[in-house]
Amino acid sequence: MISNHEFQHYQENGYLIARGLFTPSEVQALIGHYMELRTQPHPGDLFGVDPNSSDPLKKYPRMLQMHRYDEVSLKALLDRRIEEYLTALMGIEPFAVQSMIYFKPPGARGQALHQDQYYLRVQPGTCIAAWVALDRCDEENGCLQVVPGSQEWPLLCTTKADTSLSFTDVTVPIPPGTDVRAMVMDPGDVLFFNGQVVHGSTPNRSTDRFRRSLILHYIGGEASQVAHFYHPALRFDGTVVELNLAQEGGQCGIWVDQEGVPVIEMSGAEGLALRTE
């Protein structure tokens, strides 16, 4: 399914968009399913639904780990098309660890630049995301943005984010002039990206467009540990993989200037967080 050109692009940039991996009818079915599912409270949702709030994310909160109680989500998480891409990109059997649905209605904040590995703490190796666009995603409604090549970076030390623009309060600083690419996607496209890749999104500045996305996370079969929130890991046949709990914290990198060139210097330690986009 994956071409040599696609594989090379992923190796060089840390991400790959698989265009039209899900059909229009599948996308519409997923939208209908999740718009209905969100009306039912479930444990693990980050924000409680508050229809009277002025915050769009209170009216349409993201949902987490739906595959643990919802068969549609479990089927999507273990989709064979995604497995084929993951196996080709990672070169090893993938394990599934997380499902999320983001509604991102008009006016909703985005998420500041971050690395997924900051949350998952996979060892050895890292994680990989399969980010499924359910709506047209562009710069107006806050499409995902990635820093190509940052899969080669270590885990970066975090700083405070601007919570007027981001629903999370941490970010990673990057050098001025760093290439940050907008991932413009159509419904059914799937963005695969390495867990070290710096990525985030801007607010949805449209007046009438959602930016719904189904976000799935996986780890490589060589992994022996992952953070607590991501247990149990699943093989693609649905069986459970026993893994150890990840250690909290660890060394992180900061950008410094050496003879006019920005380089990463390892310093300090990061704490362990539990959830990511």
DSSP state of 38: T
Residue 234 located in a structural domain: yes
Overall domain count for the chain:
1
Decide if 277 is inside a domain: no
* Within-domain flag for 100: yes
As a whole number, the mean pLDDT across the chain is 92
Average confidence (pLDDT) over 7-15? 98
Q: Is 81 inside a domain boundary?
A: yes
Q: What is the amino acid identity at position 9? A: H
Does residue 91 carry a pLDDT above 80? yes
Q: Tell whether 96 is covered by a domain.
A: yes
Residue 152 CA to residue 263 CA, distance in Å, equals 12
The mean per-residue pLDDT over the stretch 128-133 comes to: 98
% of the chain beyond a pLDDT of 90: 83
The predicted structure's pLDDT at residue 49: 63
Which CATH number fits the domain that encloses residue 225? 2.60.120.620
| Whole-number Cα distances in Å, 85 to 82, 98, 186 | 5, 17, 18
pLDDT band at 274 (very low <50, low <70, confident <90, very high): very low
State the average pLDDT over residues 33-49. 77
Q: What is the pLDDT of residues 143-192, one digit of tens each?
A: 999 999 999 999 999 999 999 999 999 999 999 999 999 999 999 999 99
Return the SS3 of 44.
coil
Tokens linked to 177? 């002039």
List the domain range (segments joined by +) for residue 161: 4-269
Positive or negative: CA dihedral 144, 16, 102, 22: positive
pLDDT digits (tens, 9 = 90+) for 245-257: 997 777 899 999 9
CB 273 within 8 A of CB 118: yes
- Cα dihedral: 139, 142, 144, 147 (round 10): 60
Tell me, yes or no, whether 170 lies in a domain. Answer: yes
Residue 271's pLDDT is what? 53
pLDDT in tens, 132-146: 999 999 999 999 999
pLDDT per residue as tens digits for the range 181-222:
999 999 999 999 999 999 999 999 999 999 999 999 999 999
In a domain, 87, yes or no: yes
The size of the chain, in residues, is 277
The verdict on residue 274 lying in a domain is no
Neighbours of 129 (CB within 10 A): 25
Average pLDDT (74-89) is 98
pLDDT of residue 145: 98
pLDDT over threshold 80, residue 46: no
